[in-house]
């Protein structure tokens, strides 16, 4: 357990629910846990959507056709998807968190103790990933605009940074994020466009991957009272692959 690699892949937006005809990001996270002929165990947490039935169905279709052993955990249904949801999550290879309201997601997780279980799973080497709310949740602070104006939301703190998502699709997020950085409302961190994903090993950003040729992610820092937006080197997953693009420092 102590030697397990701790991995989180945080999508700015994408995956089966946003890019149903573009499998690149979902193939990438599945590839992190595939072990030869073994069927990777992939569990979906649709909490941020209120456990929407259509979302769960789309997950089973997308990952079932990849040959995965699929399951889900529901906190808003009498049948939660597993008799022991905590033990079930600890047995997974990949935990995939869907989009929606990160505030609702974190409240439900904390009420059911999943914030503790998910940290333990991550520490054991279970790969964590997600989009939108499922991206923001892993960070110290996420900047969410789901309920109106952008606001800072305290996350699980597995990653000691701030994060905001849909950075190209919702331009008003940048102004809000800059204001929060300058006021001290959030710590320094990252801004991620739809189709881009941050792959962390431990707390270190190991690489940025994209499902779209021009998708970008940025490092957001405050220097001398001004916010600097640094584009990060990214690897387009649809291009012929030679070697991963490594991020030297985050």
Strands ordered across the beta sheet of 151-154:
151-154, 139-144, 159-164, 189-192, 217-223, 226-231
Q: What Rg, from alpha-carbon coordinates, does the chain have?
A: 17
CB atoms within 10 A of CB 175: 10
State the number of CA atoms in the 13 A half-sphere of 173 facing the CB.
22
Residues designated as active site:
132, 166
CB atoms within 10 A of CB 28: 20
What is the Cα–Cα distance from 180 to 7, expressed in whole angstroms?
27
Helix (H) or strand (E) holding 207: strand 204-210
CB 149 within 8 A of CB 176: yes
């Amino acid at each position: 357990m102590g030697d397990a690699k701790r991995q989180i892949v945080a999508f700015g937006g994408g995956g089966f629910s946003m890019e149903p005809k573009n499998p690149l990001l979902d193939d990438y996270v599945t590839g992190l846990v595939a072990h030869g002929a073994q069927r990777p165990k992939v569990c979906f947490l649709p909490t941020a959507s209120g456990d929407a039935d259509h979302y769960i169905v789309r997950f089973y279709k997308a990952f079932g056709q990849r040959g995965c052993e699929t399951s889900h955990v529901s906190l808003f249904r009498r049948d939660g998807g597993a008799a022991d949801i905590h033990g079930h999550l600890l047995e997974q290879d990949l935990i995939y968190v869907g989009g929606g309201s990160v505030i609702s997601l974190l409240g439900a997780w904390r009420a059911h103790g999943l914030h503790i279980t998910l940290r333990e799973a991550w520490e054991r080497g279970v790969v964590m990933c997600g989009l939108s709310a499922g991206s923001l949740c892993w960070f110290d602070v996420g900047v969410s605009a789901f309920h109106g104006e952008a606001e800072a939301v305290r996350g699980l703190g597995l990653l000691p940074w701030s994060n905001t998502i849909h950075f190209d699709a919702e331009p008003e997020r940048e102004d809000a994020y800059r204001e929060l950085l300058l006021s001290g409302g959030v710590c320094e961190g990252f801004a991620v466009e739809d189709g881009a994903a941050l792959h962390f090993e431990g707390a270190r950003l190991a690489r940025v991957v994209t499902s779209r040729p021009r998708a970008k992610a940025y490092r957001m820092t405050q220097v001398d009272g001004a916010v600097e937006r640094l584009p990060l080197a990214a690897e387009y997953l649809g291009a012929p692959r030679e070697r991963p693009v490594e991020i030297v420092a985050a």
